[in-house]
Amino acid sequence: MEDFGDVLVWLAVVIQRRYAEICGEHDLTPAQAQLLCSIKDRPLRMAELAGSLGMAKNALSQLVDRIERRGLVQRDSPEIDRRVIVLAVTPEGKKIAEALYADVSRRLPDIADNLEPDLRQTLRTAAVQITNRYIPRLADGSTGMLTPATNAAEKR
Amino acid sequence: MEDFGDVLVWLAVVIQRRYAEICGEHDLTPAQAQLLCSIKDRPLRMAELAGSLGMAKNALSQLVDRIERRGLVQRDSPEIDRRVIVLAVTPEGKKIAEALYADVSRRLPDIADNLEPDLRQTLRTAAVQITNRYIPRLADGSTGMLTPATNAAEKR
DNA sequence: TATTAGTAGTTCATGCCGTGAACTTCCGCA
DNA sequence: TGCGGAAGTTCACGGCATGAACTACTAATA
Protein backbone atom coordinates (compact mmCIF):
# COMPACT_ATOMS: atom_id res chain seq x y z
CA MET A 1 0.00 0.00 0.00
CA GLU A 2 2.94 2.34 -0.49
CA ASP A 3 1.89 5.61 -1.99
CA PHE A 4 3.18 6.15 -5.51
CA GLY A 5 4.24 9.75 -5.03
CA ASP A 6 6.02 8.91 -1.81
CA VAL A 7 7.86 5.98 -3.28
CA LEU A 8 8.98 8.03 -6.25
CA VAL A 9 10.51 10.60 -3.96
CA TRP A 10 12.41 7.92 -2.10
CA LEU A 11 13.52 6.35 -5.33
CA ALA A 12 14.97 9.69 -6.34
CA VAL A 13 16.74 9.86 -3.00
CA VAL A 14 18.29 6.44 -3.48
CA ILE A 15 19.51 7.36 -6.94
CA GLN A 16 20.88 10.71 -5.85
CA ARG A 17 22.68 9.23 -2.87
CA ARG A 18 24.43 6.66 -5.01
CA TYR A 19 25.19 9.23 -7.67
CA ALA A 20 26.64 11.60 -5.11
CA GLU A 21 28.73 8.78 -3.72
CA ILE A 22 30.23 7.95 -7.10
CA CYS A 23 30.77 11.62 -7.91
CA GLY A 24 32.54 12.04 -4.60
CA GLU A 25 35.03 9.34 -5.50
CA HIS A 26 36.00 11.51 -8.44
CA ASP A 27 36.11 14.61 -6.24
CA LEU A 28 33.04 16.12 -7.80
CA THR A 29 29.69 17.21 -6.49
CA PRO A 30 26.60 16.07 -8.40
CA ALA A 31 26.10 19.53 -9.86
CA GLN A 32 29.68 19.72 -11.06
CA ALA A 33 29.46 16.22 -12.47
CA GLN A 34 26.37 16.95 -14.49
CA LEU A 35 27.85 20.10 -15.87
CA LEU A 36 31.06 18.35 -16.82
CA CYS A 37 29.25 15.48 -18.51
CA SER A 38 27.01 17.90 -20.41
CA ILE A 39 29.96 19.43 -22.20
CA LYS A 40 32.35 16.54 -22.32
CA ASP A 41 31.64 15.85 -25.99
CA ARG A 42 30.70 19.29 -27.30
CA PRO A 43 31.17 22.82 -26.00
CA LEU A 44 28.05 24.75 -25.12
CA ARG A 45 27.11 28.34 -24.48
CA MET A 46 26.17 29.37 -20.97
CA ALA A 47 22.52 29.96 -21.83
CA GLU A 48 22.20 26.59 -23.53
CA LEU A 49 23.84 24.90 -20.62
CA ALA A 50 21.58 26.66 -18.14
CA GLY A 51 18.55 25.48 -20.06
CA SER A 52 19.92 22.00 -20.40
CA LEU A 53 20.65 21.70 -16.70
CA GLY A 54 17.48 23.48 -15.67
CA MET A 55 19.20 26.15 -13.63
CA ALA A 56 19.29 29.94 -13.69
CA LYS A 57 22.10 31.68 -15.52
CA ASN A 58 23.57 33.22 -12.41
CA ALA A 59 23.69 29.93 -10.58
CA LEU A 60 25.45 28.41 -13.55
CA SER A 61 27.92 31.25 -13.68
CA GLN A 62 29.01 30.55 -10.15
CA LEU A 63 29.10 26.82 -10.67
CA VAL A 64 31.38 27.36 -13.63
CA ASP A 65 33.57 29.63 -11.50
CA ARG A 66 34.21 26.80 -9.08
CA ILE A 67 34.96 24.22 -11.74
CA GLU A 68 37.07 26.58 -13.77
CA ARG A 69 39.13 27.33 -10.68
CA ARG A 70 40.03 23.68 -10.67
CA GLY A 71 41.06 23.73 -14.30
CA LEU A 72 38.45 21.29 -15.54
CA VAL A 73 36.64 23.70 -17.79
CA GLN A 74 37.47 26.70 -19.91
CA ARG A 75 35.52 29.80 -20.88
CA ASP A 76 35.93 31.04 -24.41
CA SER A 77 34.41 33.94 -26.27
CA PRO A 78 33.88 33.72 -30.03
CA GLU A 79 34.85 36.66 -32.25
CA ILE A 80 31.48 36.73 -33.93
CA ASP A 81 29.58 37.71 -30.79
CA ARG A 82 31.61 38.86 -27.85
CA ARG A 83 28.71 38.59 -25.46
CA VAL A 84 28.47 34.83 -25.49
CA ILE A 85 30.67 32.49 -23.53
CA VAL A 86 31.31 29.03 -24.90
CA LEU A 87 32.23 26.54 -22.27
CA ALA A 88 34.49 23.60 -23.07
CA VAL A 89 36.21 20.93 -21.02
CA THR A 90 39.97 21.04 -20.68
CA PRO A 91 41.90 17.82 -21.43
CA GLU A 92 42.00 17.18 -17.70
CA GLY A 93 38.30 17.86 -17.42
CA LYS A 94 37.52 15.50 -20.25
CA LYS A 95 39.52 12.73 -18.68
CA ILE A 96 37.67 13.10 -15.40
CA ALA A 97 34.30 13.41 -17.11
CA GLU A 98 34.78 10.24 -19.04
CA ALA A 99 36.03 8.27 -16.09
CA LEU A 100 33.07 9.48 -14.07
CA TYR A 101 30.55 8.75 -16.78
CA ALA A 102 31.88 5.24 -17.23
CA ASP A 103 31.71 4.70 -13.50
CA VAL A 104 28.14 5.92 -13.28
CA SER A 105 27.20 3.73 -16.22
CA ARG A 106 28.69 0.71 -14.62
CA ARG A 107 27.84 1.12 -10.97
CA LEU A 108 24.70 3.18 -10.63
CA PRO A 109 22.42 0.48 -12.06
CA ASP A 110 23.47 -1.64 -9.08
CA ILE A 111 20.52 -0.22 -7.21
CA ALA A 112 18.26 -2.26 -9.50
CA ASP A 113 20.34 -5.41 -9.05
CA ASN A 114 17.82 -7.45 -7.17
CA LEU A 115 14.98 -6.78 -9.58
CA GLU A 116 13.75 -9.43 -12.00
CA PRO A 117 15.41 -8.86 -15.39
CA ASP A 118 12.20 -7.85 -17.12
CA LEU A 119 11.17 -5.58 -14.28
CA ARG A 120 14.57 -3.98 -14.56
CA GLN A 121 14.11 -3.56 -18.28
CA THR A 122 10.71 -1.99 -17.81
CA LEU A 123 12.08 0.43 -15.27
CA ARG A 124 14.60 1.46 -17.88
CA THR A 125 11.89 2.03 -20.46
CA ALA A 126 9.77 4.06 -18.08
CA ALA A 127 12.76 6.15 -17.06
CA VAL A 128 13.64 6.85 -20.67
CA GLN A 129 10.12 7.95 -21.49
CA ILE A 130 9.85 10.24 -18.51
CA THR A 131 13.21 11.88 -19.02
CA ASN A 132 12.56 12.31 -22.72
CA ARG A 133 9.45 14.19 -21.82
CA TYR A 134 10.88 16.44 -19.14
CA ILE A 135 14.54 16.90 -19.90
CA PRO A 136 15.35 18.97 -22.97
CA ARG A 137 17.87 16.90 -24.87
CA LEU A 138 20.39 18.56 -27.14
CA ALA A 139 20.63 16.70 -30.43
CA ASP A 140 24.18 15.74 -31.39
CA GLY A 141 24.60 18.26 -34.14
CA SER A 142 22.57 20.77 -32.24
CA THR A 143 22.22 24.31 -33.44
CA GLY A 144 21.98 25.37 -29.85
CA MET A 145 18.26 26.07 -29.93
CA LEU A 146 16.42 24.59 -27.03
CA THR A 147 12.74 23.87 -27.18
CA PRO A 148 11.48 26.17 -24.45
CA ALA A 149 8.46 24.00 -23.78
CA THR A 150 8.59 21.27 -21.15
CA ASN A 151 11.42 23.05 -19.40
CA ALA A 152 10.89 22.73 -15.68
CA ALA A 153 12.68 25.98 -14.97
CA GLU A 154 10.27 28.35 -16.64
CA LYS A 155 9.15 31.46 -14.84
CA ARG A 156 5.54 31.80 -13.91
CA MET B 1 20.48 3.68 -26.77
CA GLU B 2 20.32 5.75 -23.63
CA ASP B 3 22.59 4.56 -20.91
CA PHE B 4 20.76 3.10 -17.92
CA GLY B 5 22.85 4.83 -15.29
CA ASP B 6 22.52 8.14 -17.04
CA VAL B 7 18.79 7.87 -17.46
CA LEU B 8 18.33 6.95 -13.81
CA VAL B 9 20.15 10.10 -12.77
CA TRP B 10 17.94 12.23 -14.96
CA LEU B 11 14.86 10.46 -13.67
CA ALA B 12 15.91 11.39 -10.17
CA VAL B 13 16.34 14.97 -11.32
CA VAL B 14 12.84 15.08 -12.76
CA ILE B 15 11.36 13.70 -9.59
CA GLN B 16 13.30 16.03 -7.34
CA ARG B 17 12.41 19.07 -9.39
CA ARG B 18 8.74 18.32 -9.20
CA TYR B 19 8.99 17.48 -5.53
CA ALA B 20 10.82 20.71 -4.80
CA GLU B 21 8.17 22.60 -6.73
CA ILE B 22 5.34 21.12 -4.69
CA CYS B 23 7.23 21.63 -1.44
CA GLY B 24 7.83 25.23 -2.40
CA GLU B 25 4.11 25.83 -2.69
CA HIS B 26 3.87 24.85 0.96
CA ASP B 27 6.84 27.05 1.83
CA LEU B 28 9.09 24.11 2.55
CA THR B 29 12.36 22.91 1.15
CA PRO B 30 12.62 19.21 0.22
CA ALA B 31 14.75 18.49 3.29
CA GLN B 32 12.28 20.19 5.60
CA ALA B 33 9.39 18.41 3.94
CA GLN B 34 10.93 14.99 4.36
CA LEU B 35 11.69 15.64 7.98
CA LEU B 36 8.18 16.87 8.65
CA CYS B 37 6.58 13.90 6.94
CA SER B 38 8.84 11.48 8.80
CA ILE B 39 7.43 12.54 12.14
CA LYS B 40 3.95 13.58 11.20
CA ASP B 41 2.42 10.39 12.60
CA ARG B 42 4.85 9.49 15.37
CA PRO B 43 7.56 11.37 17.24
CA LEU B 44 11.13 10.20 16.77
CA ARG B 45 14.45 10.67 18.48
CA MET B 46 17.12 12.66 16.72
CA ALA B 47 19.35 9.66 16.13
CA GLU B 48 16.50 7.61 14.67
CA LEU B 49 15.51 10.47 12.46
CA ALA B 50 19.05 10.97 11.26
CA GLY B 51 19.26 7.31 10.34
CA SER B 52 15.88 7.36 8.71
CA LEU B 53 16.71 10.40 6.61
CA GLY B 54 20.25 9.24 5.93
CA MET B 55 21.92 12.34 7.23
CA ALA B 56 24.49 13.10 9.92
CA LYS B 57 23.33 14.09 13.37
CA ASN B 58 24.81 17.55 13.20
CA ALA B 59 23.14 18.30 9.88
CA LEU B 60 19.84 17.17 11.33
CA SER B 61 20.31 19.32 14.40
CA GLN B 62 20.59 22.41 12.25
CA LEU B 63 17.72 21.39 10.03
CA VAL B 64 15.56 21.01 13.12
CA ASP B 65 16.70 24.43 14.31
CA ARG B 66 15.32 26.03 11.18
CA ILE B 67 12.01 24.20 11.30
CA GLU B 68 11.58 24.68 15.02
CA ARG B 69 12.13 28.41 14.53
CA ARG B 70 9.03 28.35 12.36
CA GLY B 71 7.02 26.54 14.98
CA LEU B 72 6.35 23.41 12.98
CA VAL B 73 8.21 21.07 15.26
CA GLN B 74 8.98 20.68 18.91
CA ARG B 75 11.91 19.24 20.84
CA ASP B 76 11.13 17.28 23.96
CA SER B 77 13.32 15.45 26.43
CA PRO B 78 12.01 12.40 28.31
CA GLU B 79 12.64 12.03 32.04
CA ILE B 80 14.03 8.55 31.67
CA ASP B 81 17.08 9.64 29.72
CA ARG B 82 17.83 13.30 29.64
CA ARG B 83 20.29 12.97 26.80
CA VAL B 84 17.79 12.11 24.14
CA ILE B 85 15.61 14.54 22.28
CA VAL B 86 12.27 13.40 20.95
CA LEU B 87 11.03 15.41 18.05
CA ALA B 88 7.32 15.86 17.42
CA VAL B 89 5.26 17.99 15.06
CA THR B 90 3.22 20.83 16.48
CA PRO B 91 -0.47 21.03 15.48
CA GLU B 92 0.51 23.59 12.87
CA GLY B 93 3.31 21.35 11.63
CA LYS B 94 1.00 18.40 11.38
CA LYS B 95 -1.49 20.35 9.36
CA ILE B 96 1.17 21.44 6.90
CA ALA B 97 2.71 17.98 6.74
CA GLU B 98 -0.57 16.37 5.90
CA ALA B 99 -1.49 18.93 3.28
CA LEU B 100 1.90 18.52 1.69
CA TYR B 101 1.79 14.76 1.77
CA ALA B 102 -1.62 14.72 0.14
CA ASP B 103 -0.39 17.10 -2.51
CA VAL B 104 2.66 15.01 -3.27
CA SER B 105 0.52 11.90 -3.43
CA ARG B 106 -1.83 13.50 -5.86
CA ARG B 107 0.44 15.52 -8.09
CA LEU B 108 3.87 13.96 -8.16
CA PRO B 109 2.77 10.89 -10.11
CA ASP B 110 1.89 13.29 -12.92
CA ILE B 111 5.37 12.80 -14.25
CA ALA B 112 4.34 9.29 -15.25
CA ASP B 113 1.12 10.46 -16.85
CA ASN B 114 1.96 9.65 -20.41
CA LEU B 115 3.12 6.11 -19.67
CA GLU B 116 1.02 3.11 -20.57
CA PRO B 117 -0.95 2.01 -17.49
CA ASP B 118 0.92 -1.24 -17.09
CA LEU B 119 4.28 0.44 -17.61
CA ARG B 120 3.29 2.88 -14.95
CA GLN B 121 2.34 0.06 -12.64
CA THR B 122 5.62 -1.68 -13.23
CA LEU B 123 7.52 1.48 -12.48
CA ARG B 124 5.69 1.60 -9.19
CA THR B 125 6.64 -1.97 -8.39
CA ALA B 126 10.27 -1.41 -9.25
CA ALA B 127 10.38 1.76 -7.18
CA VAL B 128 8.86 -0.03 -4.19
CA GLN B 129 11.38 -2.84 -4.38
CA ILE B 130 14.35 -0.53 -4.67
CA THR B 131 13.31 1.76 -1.85
CA ASN B 132 12.48 -1.19 0.37
CA ARG B 133 16.01 -2.38 -0.14
CA TYR B 134 17.80 0.88 0.43
CA ILE B 135 15.65 2.99 2.71
CA PRO B 136 15.39 1.80 6.30
CA ARG B 137 11.69 1.86 7.03
CA LEU B 138 10.46 2.32 10.56
CA ALA B 139 7.69 -0.14 11.33
CA ASP B 140 4.53 1.45 12.70
CA GLY B 141 4.92 0.26 16.24
CA SER B 142 8.65 0.65 16.02
CA THR B 143 10.81 0.22 19.04
CA GLY B 144 13.15 2.72 17.57
CA MET B 145 15.78 0.23 16.51
CA LEU B 146 16.98 0.68 12.99
CA THR B 147 18.50 -2.12 11.01
CA PRO B 148 21.99 -0.77 10.54
CA ALA B 149 22.54 -2.77 7.37
CA THR B 150 21.77 -1.29 3.96
CA ASN B 151 21.95 2.19 5.41
CA ALA B 152 23.62 4.42 2.86
CA ALA B 153 25.08 6.68 5.52
CA GLU B 154 27.31 4.17 7.26
CA LYS B 155 30.87 5.08 8.07
CA ARG B 156 33.59 3.10 6.40
C1' DT C 1 31.62 5.44 45.47
C1' DA C 2 34.63 7.56 42.19
C1' DT C 3 36.48 7.20 37.84
C1' DT C 4 36.09 6.32 33.18
C1' DA C 5 34.10 5.28 28.80
C1' DG C 6 30.66 5.94 25.73
C1' DT C 7 26.15 7.98 23.94
C1' DA C 8 23.05 11.85 22.41
C1' DG C 9 22.99 15.97 20.76
C1' DT C 10 24.94 20.67 19.75
C1' DT C 11 28.06 24.27 17.95
C1' DC C 12 31.26 26.30 14.83
C1' DA C 13 33.76 27.24 10.60
C1' DT C 14 33.81 26.26 5.99
C1' DG C 15 32.16 25.29 1.41
C1' DC C 16 28.65 24.26 -2.17
C1' DC C 17 24.43 25.41 -4.17
C1' DG C 18 20.40 28.29 -5.58
C1' DT C 19 17.72 32.83 -5.59
C1' DG C 20 16.54 37.74 -6.60
C1' DA C 21 18.19 42.12 -7.74
C1' DA C 22 21.28 45.06 -9.78
C1' DC C 23 24.92 45.53 -12.97
C1' DT C 24 28.28 45.52 -17.36
C1' DT C 25 29.17 44.56 -21.97
C1' DC C 26 27.88 43.99 -26.27
C1' DC C 27 24.83 43.35 -30.51
C1' DG C 28 21.15 44.88 -33.57
C1' DC C 29 18.26 48.15 -35.20
C1' DA C 30 16.10 52.54 -36.26
C1' DT D 1 23.78 58.19 -32.83
C1' DG D 2 21.28 56.20 -29.61
C1' DC D 3 18.34 52.86 -27.57
C1' DG D 4 16.38 48.30 -26.34
C1' DG D 5 17.39 43.87 -25.40
C1' DA D 6 20.48 39.79 -24.96
C1' DA D 7 24.35 37.29 -22.53
C1' DG D 8 26.85 36.92 -18.48
C1' DT D 9 28.39 38.46 -14.05
C1' DT D 10 28.33 40.08 -9.26
C1' DC D 11 26.50 40.55 -4.69
C1' DA D 12 24.08 39.46 -0.48
C1' DC D 13 21.54 36.04 1.52
C1' DG D 14 19.76 31.59 3.07
C1' DG D 15 19.55 26.45 3.08
C1' DC D 16 22.17 22.45 3.38
C1' DA D 17 26.18 19.23 4.38
C1' DT D 18 30.70 18.06 6.49
C1' DG D 19 34.51 17.52 9.98
C1' DA D 20 36.08 18.71 14.36
C1' DA D 21 35.50 20.06 18.84
C1' DC D 22 32.36 20.47 22.49
C1' DT D 23 28.52 19.70 26.56
C1' DA D 24 25.62 16.91 29.14
C1' DC D 25 24.34 12.88 30.57
C1' DT D 26 24.30 7.57 31.38
C1' DA D 27 26.49 3.29 32.11
C1' DA D 28 30.32 0.38 33.06
C1' DT D 29 34.14 -0.50 35.79
C1' DA D 30 37.04 -0.84 39.62
The CATH number linked to A94 is 1.10.10.10
Helix (H, G, I), strand (E, B), or coil: what is residue A51? helix
- Are B129 and A106 inside 8 Å of each other by CB? no
Residue B15 lies in a domain: yes
Say if residue A112's pLDDT is above 90: yes
Say if residue A53's pLDDT is above 80: yes
Q: At what angle do helices A4-25 and B117-134 cross, to 10 degrees?
A: 60
Residue B68 lies in a domain: yes
- Are A5 and B106 inside 8 Å of each other by CB? yes
pLDDT of A23 reads 98
Give the ipTM of the model, two decimals please: 0.89
Residue B139 lies in a domain: no
Residue A76 lies in a domain: yes
Q: Looking at residues A136-144, what average pLDDT do you find?
A: 50
B142 touches chain A (CB under 8 A): no
Q: What is the DSSP string of chain B?
A: ---HHHHHHHHHHHHHHHHHHHHHHTT--HHHHHHHHHTSSS-EEHHHHHHHHT--HHHHHHHHHHHHHTTSEEEE--SS-TT--EEEE-HHHHHHHHHHHHHHHHHGGGGGTTS-HHHHHHHHHHHHHHHHHHS-PPPTT--SPPP-TT-TT---
Q: Which nucleotides of C are covered by protein (CB under 7 A)?
A: 6-12, 16-22, 25-28
Closest residue, CA to C1' of C26? A83
Instruction: Supply the range of the domain harboring residue A80.
Output: 4-111
- Are A106 and B3 inside 8 Å of each other by CB? no
Residues of A in contact with B17 (CB under 8 A): 54, 134, 152
Hey, which residues does A45 pair with through a beta bridge? Answer: A86
Domain count, chain A: 1
